[in-house]
A and B are shown apart, each in its own frame.
Chain A
Amino acid sequence: MKTSRVREALVSGARGLYLAIISLAGSITLFVLAVVSIAFIVLGIGLFTTPVVLAAVARFANLRRVHAAEWAGVRIPVPYRQPPANEPAGAVGQVARCLRMLKDPATWRDLQWLLVDMTAGFTVVIFAPALLLYPVYGWVLALGVWRPIHSAGGGEWYGFIHVTSQMTANGAAVLGTALGVLALFANPAIVRGHFLLARSLLAPTTSMRERELALRVDRLEETRHDAVDTSAAELRRIERDLHDGAQARLVAMGMDLGTIEALVEKDPAKAKEMLAKARQNSGEALTELRDLVRGIHPPVLAERGLGDAVQALALRLPLDTEVDVELPGRLDEPVEAAAYFAVSETLTNAVKYAEAERVWVDVHHAAGMLRIAVTDNGKGGARIGAGSGLSGIERRLGTFDGVLAVSSPVGGPTMVTMEIPCELS
């Protein structure tokens, strides 16, 4: 109990020191850069530097959000607007990106926060290390260091005590000890206070939250439409495949059997020949059904879950694959299927369009998020866009609030990453 309190106070002190340093150094630097860069927009240069600086500010703020959650359990939601999917590239895109960031109220609140962070934020949090280090100084004084300081003519003040004798130096040690004890109780609260201060500016405001909800409703509506459309199209495809495939073969088999029945006494040789044909038909019907089933819900997925299904998929590919799976449990079936087909489609792209020779697949689950990365050494140039398989994957994942990111410079390599929020069972 006691030791854990001491440890907590020490850890908070160290974190406080770190936060104080980055509050001062980071916030001042970024604030100055941001102000200068925005002022330079008039000259044109600012158009190019501002998005970079503001992105750095956002990263700096996000780092503080992460620390707040991990160190003090203070959750600060991320309020930034997402870039639109069709943001143009090149100089035009640069202007668009700059304007989007400047129009985002979260940007301006970030800048306000930088000001508060370098002043109030720093002042609050510096107390955590100070409450640990100052007592040490008190003790050092009491151990005799007061004497040379005093004889050198320095009237040393420790807190409110003017140290001029061993007596007053002892007083300094007592006061220091009291501050040290205070640190035991106050340090975690001080660090927490710093993060609460940050939250007051970094968390989205009510109007921002409302806007976010409206965007979310739009997105849900869109993904729901997509999901309904996709499943209707899937059912139509399955119906057609069954109708033209297995069903037709069974009809043919039935007819053949009828003919065989009539022939078996008249022309046994012919009957035998037709029997072989009927057997072949039944085998082909089975093959077609098997392929169809694989397209609806692959049996390995049902039997083994996503990890092994992806392994089995990789084994079917005509190229070198390296599959790394870290899933300590099973996912919900719909998520599992969506993830599987997304990987399957991505791998097909790698083989068909990228002409890759090697593929790396990485599947893992952490912090309520399934993350899949598929990288190939093909020729690159893949884009999420009208009609590409990647848009299909994006739609499929969208139903589960999942996202898709593609990095595919011309010449390769292509890296497709997918994230789906979900729990393991």
Chain B
Amino acid sequence: MEKKHSLRHHPLLTFLGSMNLAITLLVMLAVASVIGTVLKQNEAYASYVIKFGPFWFEVFRNLELYDVYSAIWFLAVLAFLLASISACVWRNGAHFAKDMVSFQEDKHPAQLKKMNLSAHWTTNTAPAHIIERAITSIQAQGFKTKTEEKGNSQLIAAKKGSAHRLGYFFTHLAIIVICLGALLDSNLKFKFQEWAGMVEPETRSLALTDVNPKANLASDNFSFRGSVNIPEGKSADVVFLTFKDGYLVQKLPFEVKVVDFRVEHYDTGMPKSFESDIILIAPDLKEPIKATLSVNKPLFYKDYAIYQSSFGDGGSTLKLNAYPLSALNSSASELAGEIHRDIPLNTPIGNYKVELDDYKPNNIIPLPEPDANGKKVKNLGPSVQFKVRDGAGQAVEYENYLLAIDRAQAWYQVSKFRKSRAQEFDFLMIPLDTNQSMKRFMTFLSLVNDQKGLDKVLDESIAQETDATKRDQLMTQKRFMQQLVNLFRARGFDGIRGYLDQAVGADKREAVFEQYLEILTVAMQSLYLKTLEVEGIKNKTEATEAERRFFADSIEAINLLAHYGPPMFFEITSIDQRESSGLQITKSPGKNVVFLGSFMLIVGVFLLFYVRPQRIWLWVNQNEHGESEVILAGKDGKDDSQLQDAFSNLLQQNQSATTPSEEPAHVTH
């Protein structure tokens, strides 16, 4: 007993169990948590390098700021907090427990008189009567009583709300329980295994069979939280856990097959629900389990939980037409591909790779004004996202829409593109001809590309000029026209401006640019008329409004081609969609521990705040005159005012029940 007592007051325990330490740790925990919310966690390391530069990237990485919540120092703060709370419970526990059980029947009359709530009086009523009456009245207030006799005096000690102290135990033990539960589910064991050289995350995206064997986790792992995308009709028996800058592959003791995946949409185009029909196959199951998963409705199997968490493309197959944009003829070549796979392209201008990233079946955009049917949104239809990467590894990102899109009664084939993720997308809008095809534009473009052809076309068009002086003027400008067309084709309006920036003084630039534009327009118009001629629209004296607009749109499109990346355009002609269901599979043995702790916490908080530990004492002593001296006293935790009403009640009941002697009652509140 003596030893235990001294241990409880050991300086280390006193330090650990002090509230100052506990509060300091709480504050540290809070500050660390803030860092974790401000700095986006668990992103690809490359994006951190871009954000912070190589120096700070290393500093932050060493501080484990990219995964604060499983950083060693963060866990150390938690561990200290646990130790602190445990020490606190250890130090105070026995005392609190004793206090909870005790009626504090050892109080002396002098102590009772000193209390904030205290009254004493003398009466002729016999002690036995007073005690009997008092017990009834005190118990009626919900107190438990205990009576003690010491010689001539008797003491009723009463208590109520002892559960308040339980609240202390519940809340503090709850935190310990929650932390232990969370520890069971944490990735601390992976960190240890990594440290011990047993585990190493895989950072490359590879076929399962090629993954670093040290990134594979056996199916007996007792806790994990991972995810996997399973295309319709396919199955998986692994999930991927994100760890550090890579992933680990967790083997499952069962196989999940996604039979069907469905998404429903609201009329606004937002997804309304998504669900998967799955079959769970395990060697120890006689019958496979068939179930439908949806958001908020997981499937629980043994210690595992399977959640519907996302969806995506599961390898839709598509056919495309590739138009060479710098060629002298407008014919396209046919290609076939599959989402998530690459198409290698070996062309005369180099080797490329088309990386098919995603297929979006719907593209719903808000409209500035409701359309004729009162709809405020518009579906642009399906699109394919892909990248074209050149031999040097440079890639341009694209999103091409499958369907023609109309803008103010004209139709376009639309392609979004950008050269880096930091940029906004630009829109290339290729005007469509009367047959809703890109043929006219492609013909026009091939004529623009054809330098020799251009010479001929210009000759022809100059020959048609009837005014002799104008014709001569055009003849002198012919070479210049060719140069302008080539410059425009290669670098757009920016190219012409760039040339003027060097060749012409700042004051005249704008005027010269206007002149150049006129000359360029004459040349392009000649090419456009030639295009129409090729199409079979001949000898027109006046172009129609639609034809003019087509021309203007084409010029705009060709201007953008300078920035469009590798000179090819992909038209998606057909697609066969295959969806994939994103599942999250967890094994979380700590979950119920955490929930038990949470429940304890709630109960404890209510006990602490709403159960008042109250005590009442009534002491009676028969003095030498045969009178009864009575003391009534009360105490309420740290706030005696809460007991005031009950105390006054008791005082009134017990005083009025006794016949007073001469001495008046003495009351202190």
Is the pairing of A and B real? no
Taking Cβ atoms with an 8 Å cutoff, the residues of A that contact B are: none
